[in-house]
Amino acid sequence: MMTNRYPTLRELAQAYFHQDYDLEADTPLEVVALFRRAVGPEKAGELRDEIASLLFTVADDGDVAQVWLEQAGAFYDPRLDGVTPREWLRQVAAELGAG
């Protein structure tokens, strides 16, 4: 399901939120900004669309976490920072729209 449906989310998770993501920037949202600058506005827009689709179709926060952590393969768990997975992806989408 995930691999074909959210390929750009998987790219963000695996290429930017790898085991050492915290060495790339001071905050997780700064890592997202690195992604945005690297891929440009078109691909950032694709990811915003994927996030909107995910948040619309997946109601349970535990399932959102499962998509982000297990299916996409991210090493960053926003719950450790007191942020729900749903709110984290909303923050990602907002950051992708910045700049």
Counted domains in the chain: 1
pTM: 0.91
Two tokens at 56? 């619309």
Q: Answer whether residue 1 shows pLDDT above 60.
A: no
Average pLDDT for 24-33: 94
Residue 62 is part of which domain span?
A: 2-97
Q: Answer whether residue 29 shows pLDDT above 80.
A: yes
From the list 46, 15, 49, 20, the residue with the least C-alpha distance to 32 is 15
CB 10 within 8 A of CB 73: yes
